[in-house]
Amino acid sequence: MNRYYVIAMIALLILIIAIPVYAWMEPARMEQAQQLLREKYVQDAAVMYVDNCALCHGVEGEGIGAYPPLNTEGIREADYDFLYKTIARGRYNTAMTAWHEDDGGPFNSYQIEELVAFLRYVDWAQVKEIAAQQGVIPPAMPVPEVQDSFLEQVAALGAEGESWANGIATYAQSCTTCHGVNGEGTDLAPALNDEDTRMADAEELARIIREGIPGTMMPSWDKKLDEQTIEDVVAFLQNWDKINEAGLELTPPAPIHVDLNNPEEVLALGETLYANTCAACHGENGEGGSGPALNSLQILTRHTDDDLRRVIIYGPRRPNSIMPAFGDRLTSVEVDALVAYIRSWEETAVWVKNPRGTEQGGGPPWLRATPDSNNPISPEGNRGFGRGRWRKNPPPDQGLDTQP
Amino acid sequence: MQASTKTPSGKSSHVSRQVERSRMRAVMNNIILHLHPTRVPASALRLTYTWGLGGLSALLTVILISTGILLMFRYDASVERAYASIQFLETQVMFGSLLRSVHHWAANLLLVTVFLHMLRVFFTGSYKKGRATNWLVGIALLLLVVSFNFTGYLLPWDQLAYWAVTVATSLLSYIPLIGNALTTFLLGGPEVGQATLRNFYAIHVAVLPALLLLTMSYHFWRIRKDGDISQPERDDKVLKLTTIPYLIQIELAAAALLITSILLWAMFVPAPLEEMANPAHPPNPAKAAWYFLGLQELLLHMHPLAAMMLPGLILLGVALIPFWDTRSEDIGIYFRSSTGKKIALSAAVLGVVLPIVLVVLDEYWVDFPGWLPGLPTIVSNGMIPLVLTMAGLGIIYWSFQKLFKGNRSESTLGLVTFLFISLITLTIIGIFFRGPNMALIWPW
* A34 close contact with B: CB closer than 8 A: yes
Q: Where are the alpha helices (DSSP H) in A287-383?
A: 297-302, 305-314, 332-343, 365-368
Model confidence at B115, pLDDT cuts 50, 70, 90, reads very high
Percent of chain B with pLDDT over 70: 96
A15, B249: Cβ pair inside 8 Å?
no
Give pLDDT, residue B225.
85
Give pLDDT, residue A339.
92
Q: Sort out which chain A residues have CB atoms less than 8 A from B276's CB and list them.
A: 110
* A149 close contact with B: CB closer than 8 A: no
Give pLDDT, residue B65.
96
Each residue's pLDDT tens digit, B175-196: 878 888 989 999 998 889 999 9
Select the residue of B84, B91, B256 nearest A8 (Cβ to Cβ): B256
Q: Nearest-CA residue of chain B relative to A26? A: B94
Select the residue of B95, B257, B267 nearest A7 (Cβ to Cβ): B257
Report how far residue B64's alpha carbon sits from residue B40's, in angstroms, rounded to the nearest whole number. Answer: 29
Q: What is the location of CATH 1.20.810.10 in chain B?
A: 36-283
Helix (H, G, I), strand (E, B) or coil at A93: coil
Beta bridge partners of B40: B241
Select the residue of B84, B253, B260 nearest A15 (Cβ to Cβ): B260
Which mean pLDDT values do the consecutive 10-residue runs of chain A (404 residues) have? 89 94 94 92 89 80 77 88 91 81 85 92 86 75 73 82 87 79 76 87 89 74 84 89 83 78 87 81 80 84 88 78 77 89 87 64 56 50 42 45 43
B260, A37: Cβ pair inside 8 Å?
no
Give pLDDT, residue A5.
92
- For strands A136-137 and A256-257, give the pairing: antiparallel
Give pLDDT, residue A383.
45
CATH class belonging to B36-283: mainly alpha
- For strands B240-242 and B39-41, give the pairing: antiparallel
The one-letter amino acid code at B27 reads V
Select the residue of B253, B260, B267 nearest A22 (Cβ to Cβ): B267
What one-character-per-residue DSSP string does B29-67 give?
HHHHHHHS-SEEEGGGG-HHHHTTHHHHHHHHHHHHHHH
* A2 close contact with B: CB closer than 8 A: yes
Which candidate, A144, A100, A373, places its Cα nearest to that of A251? Answer: A144
A2, B80: Cβ pair inside 8 Å?
no
If residue A136 lies in a helix (H) or strand (E), which one and from where to where?
Answer: strand A136-137
Give pLDDT, residue A374.
56
Q: Sort out which chain B residues have CB atoms less than 8 A from A15's CB and list them.
A: 256, 259-260, 263
* B269 close contact with A: CB closer than 8 A: no
Question: Ranked by mean pLDDT, which of A247-251, B135-139, B299-303 comes out on top?
Answer: B135-139
Best probe of the A interface among B249, B258, B273, B281, by most A CBs < 10 A, is: B249
Q: Nearest-CA residue of chain A relative to B276? A: A110
* B87 close contact with A: CB closer than 8 A: yes
Give the rounded distance of the alpha carbon of A379 from its chain centre.
40
Give pLDDT, residue A17.
95
B97, A22: Cβ pair inside 8 Å?
no
Q: How far is A45 from chain B (nearest CA, A)?
A: 13
B91, A12: Cβ pair inside 8 Å?
no
List C-alpha distances in Å: B184 to A317, B154, B179, B206, B303: 66, 16, 9, 21, 21
Between CA A116 and CA B72, with CA B101 as vertex, the angle to 5 degrees is 75
As for the ipTM of the complex, it is 0.80
Q: Specify whether the CB–CB gap between B341 and B412 falls below 8 A.
A: no
* B390 close contact with A: CB closer than 8 A: no
Between CA A124 and CA A133, with CA A128 as vertex, the angle to 5 degrees is 125
| Residue B59 pLDDT greater than 60, yes or no | yes
Q: DSSP assignment, residue B158?
A: B
Best probe of the A interface among B263, B268, B275, by most A CBs < 10 A, is: B263
B263, A26: Cβ pair inside 8 Å?
no
Helix (H, G, I), strand (E, B) or coil at B434: strand
Q: Sort out which chain B residues have CB atoms less than 8 A from A113's CB and list them.
A: 84
Give pLDDT, residue B408.
86
The one-letter amino acid code at A21 reads V
Give pLDDT, residue A389.
39
Best probe of the A interface among B46, B85, B94, B162, by most A CBs < 10 A, is: B94
Q: Can you list the domains of chain A with their CATH numbers? A: 37-135 (1.10.760.10), 148-245 (1.10.760.10), 259-358+392-398 (1.10.760.10)
Report how far residue A384's alpha carbon sits from residue A302's, in angstroms, rounded to the nearest whole number. Answer: 13
* A13 close contact with B: CB closer than 8 A: no
Q: Give a three-class secondary structure readout of B164-212.
A: HHHHHHHHHCCCCCCHHHHHHHHHCCCCCCHHHHHHHHHHHHHHHHHHH
Average pLDDT over residues B203-223: 94
Average pLDDT over residues B20-44: 84
Lowest model confidence (mean pLDDT) among B83-92, B110-119, B235-244, B416-425: B235-244
Each residue's pLDDT tens digit, B345-363: 999 999 999 999 999 988 8
Q: Nearest-CA residue of chain A relative to B258? A: A11
Q: Nearest-CA residue of chain A relative to B277? A: A110
Each residue's pLDDT tens digit, B160-171: 899 988 888 888
Give pLDDT, residue A380.
45
Can you list the pairs that B304-310 forms with residues at least 24 positions away whose Cβ atoms lie under 8 Å?
A: B304/B171, B304/B174, B305/B174, B305/B176, B305/B378, B305/B382, B306/B378, B306/B381, B306/B382, B306/B383, B306/B385, B306/B386, B307/B171, B308/B171, B308/B174, B308/B175, B309/B386, B310/B386, B310/B389
* A1 close contact with B: CB closer than 8 A: no
* A12 close contact with B: CB closer than 8 A: yes
Q: Which residues contact B314 (CB under 8 A, 6 or more apart)?
A: B419
Give pLDDT, residue B138.
95
Q: Nearest-CA residue of chain A relative to B252? A: A8
The one-letter amino acid code at A110 reads Y
B91, A34: Cβ pair inside 8 Å?
yes
Select the residue of B92, B249, B264 nearest A4 (Cβ to Cβ): B249
Q: How far is A15 from chain B (nearest CA, A)?
A: 6
